[in-house]
Chain A
């Protein structure tokens, strides 16, 4: 067409001009864009960021996992290669551990056994107690010897403040147990690699029952549970004919088969043959791997509202009690008149109200014995609840319990959120005349039986 206007040569020139023009403009635009990209383009990002995002997207699609509501990561500082550093922040603790021996390879065809079957434990234990009168199983006529068992991993927590909360938790337990004359066993060893995770308590409990015949009751308590009523003493007489005490509701376990009908984060187990038999029936769902997965499916099917995940000890207990009610129920006490386990979500916001209206010693909704931070998982990276809520509430629960200890010595925390303490009563030149309000310094249940020998 241009040919007709300008003539062939001219049109060719014109075309060439146009082409060159196009290329020039394109190059100019490209230069501008590239420069803008390199010198910074604000929130619209640079090609480098693009690349990163593309890469991340692909990685995300590859490792698709349940979206974490919370991620805790320590900013890794650059590792210095010098091994002679005096700076703790630069040290990678995982380089410290050395296993001198290999894992024992288990024969996969062998069925799991938590230990050789013992059938005469009551007789063995009774005989031993007779021969060892210095280690009675009852420290007072109404008070059995109790061993509180808890524990955590021998490796540091993934969360940088996790170990601090474990420390506060064990201090809290030490305080309660000192006042109530209870011994503590803090476990940091994995006795059986197959029963790892929440199942690790089973081989531990069995081992402790068999190694400590003088212990009448073993009290398992999770590391994320804290005592919030220091004055409450467990009503031991109520359980004189029972062997297992858990917090829960009969209807929810036996009728509804609800997976949270009871809680295995805090329970009492008597040292007897019945308990060994129960552990033998409880353990088979635990072994890591296919067994646990398959058992998990069975439990989700059989129990109400249970989500899909591998078998856990709590669901297994619900299932055993519900399906073998005739065998076990008459020796199991599902306690709900006080908070042997208290779900933190409904308790922690009411502490100020409790302080205003009630006093320690109730153990129930008025002043909970135990506040259990289920789902918070402060030692791990991922929890079911937001970080701030969990950690701040754990601080409050700790201080709530600690105030009852400090008041013995005339101190209290400045507030439930504060680490600082203040004096509540003046120093006296007659310290023994001053009575501590809760009577925790020299409580009746700690009185020593004055023996005649």
Chain B
């Protein structure tokens, strides 16, 4: 300060000498200020660092979870428990499983479906005479029992069960309209005849327990009715005991393994059928018998891939080699008692435009059968998208025919929602007469 005053008194002299001192002074103040700023900054840094470390250490020792509500952990535990239970339900494990393996039939053992019965026709007609209130013909129609089924455990995936449910609803609708009873089987009656062979002991048992049933109609769970009006023309088969869809030239000339389809067929309740079942069964028993039989079938039938014996190939082989059976077998192809889905499902819109229900053939298929889709398993032979959308379309195509009586239809063949096609009225019975398949002129039979 004193220096400044000394400078000012001699102001005429060079002013430059004041600059360095002023600079050094401001520099010094700046340096002092800087130091203060730095100190503050340092303190702040240290404070932040300390804060962070405290949080981390606290979190490490106490844990954050104690601060949040308990339900999260509880939910997590519940979800795990639930998944465990679901996995247990979906597995094939059973509390009654034996620890040792079931003995499979040896190649030398002869398998029998059951005790041999030799005068079933006589016994049955005796029973029918004694039980007049359980006739085999009701209102002029022979009594039919539709038999279908699925395994007792859940499907490998949830979609499979959903389509099994839709499939049985479809069958319930057709059978209600046509007065047919349904047996839905979920039990393995015979451990040896498992898989697709399970239908044989089931059909036999039902025949013997229900003498009032004239025809047993086996239908696969992946087959859907798509013509709700069409009736099976039983009068055509009065001299036959087995009605099955197929092509005679494929059967006899080409010996093709898909000449017939055992996904949908009718068996008359008689001795002949019991004998055929007995002749059919021997290729079925699980294990070496089925494997060996599979090899024979692959060698004898055209186009058959190598796998264990299945009931369809076995039946074809039986009918080819023992052609005396053929006299009572009707190989039907004038309508789709079984309709292979791939050629049908894309044409539904065209059918709705051009034709009408009741035809049962390629114009309006009676049954659409989704061979190879296997929605209950994990993998099918076709892309999933194609299979499921086709099954949905077939289901809705059939459902539209049922809903017509009630004045509704689906909003498109892929839509689960419905829309009204007829307004509500105070005189609903006029429509009942017109649209109820059971008593309208629409019902046709060949």
Residues of A within 8 A of B (CB): 19, 22-23, 26-27, 29-30, 33-34, 36-37, 41, 43-45, 49-50, 53-54, 56-57, 60, 67-75, 83-91, 93, 96-101, 103-104, 115-118, 124-125, 128, 132, 134-135, 152, 154-157, 159-164, 166-168, 170-171, 174-175, 178, 183-186, 188-191, 207-208, 210-213, 387-388, 391, 395, 402, 406, 408-411, 414-415, 417-421, 427-432, 436, 441-442, 446-450
Query: Would you call B165 an interface residue if the criterion is a C-beta within 8 Å of the partner chain's C-beta atoms?
Result: yes
Measured CB to CB, the closest approach of chain B to A183, in angstroms, equals 5
**5 A-B residue pairs with CB within 8 Å:** A22-B46, A30-B52, A124-B429, A161-B90, A170-B168
From B95, B165, B187, B375, residue with most partner A Cβ within 10 Å: B165
Complex contacts, B168 vs chain A, CB 8 Å:
167, 170-171, 174, 186
Complex contacts, B101 vs chain A, CB 8 Å:
none
* Known contacts A53-B68, A60-B72, A97-B414: A171-B428 contact under CB 8 Å: no
Bound complex: CA A360 to CA B317 (Å): 46
* Known contacts A89-B378, A174-B184, A432-B123: A57-B68 contact under CB 8 Å: yes
| B63→A86 contact, CB < 8 A | no
Complex contacts, B60 vs chain A, CB 8 Å:
33, 36-37, 41, 44
| B428→A211 contact, CB < 8 A | yes
Bound complex: CA A178 to CA B173 (Å): 14
The size of the chain B interface, using a CB distance under 8 A, is: 120
* Known contacts A33-B60, A429-B116: A448-B176 contact under CB 8 Å: no
Complex contacts, B68 vs chain A, CB 8 Å:
53, 56-57
Complex contacts, A428 vs chain B, CB 8 Å:
115
Measured CB to CB, the closest approach of chain A to B184, in angstroms, equals 5
| B388→A96 contact, CB < 8 A | yes
Which of B63, B79, B90 is within 8 Å of A43, CB to CB? B63
| A442→B117 contact, CB < 8 A | no
| B169→A186 contact, CB < 8 A | yes
Query: Would you call B154 an interface residue if the criterion is a C-beta within 8 Å of the partner chain's C-beta atoms?
Result: yes
| B159→A91 contact, CB < 8 A | yes
Complex contacts, A118 vs chain B, CB 8 Å:
426, 428
| A167→B205 contact, CB < 8 A | no
Query: Would you call B75 an interface residue if the criterion is a C-beta within 8 Å of the partner chain's C-beta atoms?
Result: yes
Measured CB to CB, the nearest residue on chain B to A390 is B85
Measured CB to CB, the closest approach of chain A to B345, in angstroms, equals 14
Bound complex: CA A132 to CA B155 (Å): 45
**0/1 interface trace, chain B 46-89, chain A, CB 8 Å (1 if under):** 10011011001101110111001101100100110111011001
Bound complex: CA A137 to CA B445 (Å): 26
| A167→B187 contact, CB < 8 A | no
Bound complex: CA A406 to CA B205 (Å): 11
Question: Which residues in window 309-352 of B have CB below 8 A to A?
Answer: none
Bound complex: CA A163 to CA B417 (Å): 19
**0/1 interface trace, chain B 149-182, chain A, CB 8 Å (1 if under):** 0101111111111101110110011001000011
Bound complex: CA A91 to CA B382 (Å): 13
Query: Would you call B127 an interface residue if the criterion is a C-beta within 8 Å of the partner chain's C-beta atoms?
Result: yes
Measured CB to CB, the closest approach of chain A to B53, in angstroms, equals 5
Measured CB to CB, the closest approach of chain A to B73, in angstroms, equals 10
Measured CB to CB, the closest approach of chain B to A113, in angstroms, equals 9
Measured CB to CB, the nearest residue on chain A to B388 is A96
| A178→B418 contact, CB < 8 A | no
Complex contacts, B212 vs chain A, CB 8 Å:
442
* Known contacts A91-B385, A171-B186: A164-B154 contact under CB 8 Å: yes
Residues of B within 8 A of A (CB): 42, 45-46, 49-50, 52-53, 56-57, 59-61, 63-65, 68-69, 71-72, 75, 78-79, 81-83, 85-86, 89-90, 94-97, 114-117, 123-124, 127, 131-135, 138-139, 150, 152-162, 164-166, 168-169, 172-173, 176, 181-184, 186-189, 205-206, 208-212, 375, 377-385, 388-389, 392, 399, 403, 405-408, 411-412, 414-419, 424-429, 431-432, 436, 438-439
| A83→B383 contact, CB < 8 A | yes
| A211→B83 contact, CB < 8 A | no
| A387→B81 contact, CB < 8 A | yes
| A88→B159 contact, CB < 8 A | yes
| B94→A134 contact, CB < 8 A | no
Measured CB to CB, the closest approach of chain B to A18, in angstroms, equals 11
Complex contacts, B429 vs chain A, CB 8 Å:
124-125, 128, 210, 213
Which of B186, B375, B412 is within 8 Å of A168, CB to CB? B186
Given contacts A185-B176, A414-B96, 19 further A-B contacts (CB under 8 A): A33-B53, A57-B68, A85-B385, A86-B382, A87-B384, A93-B159, A101-B415, A128-B429, A160-B154, A161-B158, A163-B162, A163-B164, A174-B172, A186-B169, A188-B399, A191-B406, A208-B406, A212-B432, A418-B96
| B392→A211 contact, CB < 8 A | no
Measured CB to CB, the closest approach of chain B to A135, in angstroms, equals 7
| A30→B157 contact, CB < 8 A | no
Measured CB to CB, the nearest residue on chain A to B177 is A183
| A93→B209 contact, CB < 8 A | no
| B418→A170 contact, CB < 8 A | no
Complex contacts, B427 vs chain A, CB 8 Å:
124
Measured CB to CB, the nearest residue on chain B to A187 is B169
Measured CB to CB, the closest approach of chain B to A2, in angstroms, equals 16
Complex contacts, A116 vs chain B, CB 8 Å:
424-426
Please provide the 9 A-B residue pairs with the shortest distance between their CB atoms, ordered closest to farther: A100-B412, A154-B416, A447-B133, A163-B161, A414-B96, A419-B152, A418-B96, A164-B154, A431-B208
Complex contacts, A185 vs chain B, CB 8 Å:
172, 176
From B57, B68, B184, residue with most partner A Cβ within 10 Å: B184
Measured CB to CB, the closest approach of chain B to A329, in angstroms, equals 28
| B69→A60 contact, CB < 8 A | yes
| A448→B133 contact, CB < 8 A | yes
| B82→A71 contact, CB < 8 A | yes
Complex contacts, B61 vs chain A, CB 8 Å:
44
Measured CB to CB, the nearest residue on chain A to B385 is A83
